[in-house]
């Protein structure tokens, strides 16, 4: 089996693209963060809503990316009904690299820029959708990028990924 082709965008190319599109983004470098709990001290000094991002597939092999505030409880046994999906499980590393161009621990909504085939359905928790400032990894878990809601929505429009907005508290 061959390794998947390198993604079209990495952190550097993403930051250049943001600038070319007129999207305002502020990036803070930090040590690698693999889980939400690991980065709490780092994030405490950064304003805005911090995120958790889950890359999933359902029983029909459809791909899903859920982005929510870091403190959102997402019950995968119930979430599929809110999303219109079949039973959910985590997508594997190869699929993650093929579609979003990131490795585990670096899952981010900004990875949608690499999903040019539109294989991934983007699910955005309503509390994150309403946040004035959102924070995501810029395709690597060694930094966090802050972006205002209007710029983030414009990013989603530019990469042609309309979010499915869901209230995950309805399944808690």
Query: Is 102 in contact with 111 (CB distance < 8 Å)?
Result: yes
% of the chain with per-residue pLDDT over 70 = 91
Question: What are 122-155's pLDDT values in tens digits?
Answer: 999 999 999 999 999 999 999 999 999 999 999 9
% of the chain with per-residue pLDDT over 90 = 80
pTM: 0.92
Q: What is the pLDDT of residue 152?
A: 98
Question: What are 21-30's pLDDT values in tens digits?
Answer: 999 999 999 8
Query: Is 30 in contact with 42 (CB distance < 8 Å)?
Result: yes
Question: d(Cα 3, Cα 168) in Å, to the nearest integer?
Answer: 35
Q: Helices 11-21 & 149-158, crossing angle to 10 degrees?
A: 100
Q: What is the pLDDT of residue 102?
A: 96
Query: Is 111 in contact with 101 (CB distance < 8 Å)?
Result: yes
Question: What are 80-92's pLDDT values in tens digits?
Answer: 999 999 899 999 9
Q: What is the pLDDT of residue 1?
A: 47
pLDDT tops 70 at residue 40: no
């Amino acid at each position: 089996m061959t390794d998947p082709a390198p993604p079209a965008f990495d952190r550097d190319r993403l930051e250049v693209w943001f600038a070319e599109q007129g999207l305002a983004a502020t990036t803070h470098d930090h040590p690698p963060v693999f889980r939400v709990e690991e980065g709490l001290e780092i994030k405490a000094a950064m304003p805005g809503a911090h995120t958790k991002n889950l890359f999933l597939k359902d029983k029909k092999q459809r791909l899903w990316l859920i982005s929510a505030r870091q403190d959102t409880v997402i019950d995968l046994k119930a979430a599929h009904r809110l999303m219109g999906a079949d039973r959910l499980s985590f997508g594997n590393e190869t699929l993650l690299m093929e579609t979003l161009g990131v490795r585990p621990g670096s899952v981010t909504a900004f990875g949608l820029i690499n999903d040019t085939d539109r294989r991934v359905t983007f699910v955005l928790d309503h509390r994150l959708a309403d946040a004035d400032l959102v924070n995501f990894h810029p395709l690597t878990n060694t930094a966090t990028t802050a972006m205002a809601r209007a710029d983030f929505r414009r990013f989603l429009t530019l990469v042609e990924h309309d979010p499915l907005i869901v209230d995950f508290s309805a399944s808690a």
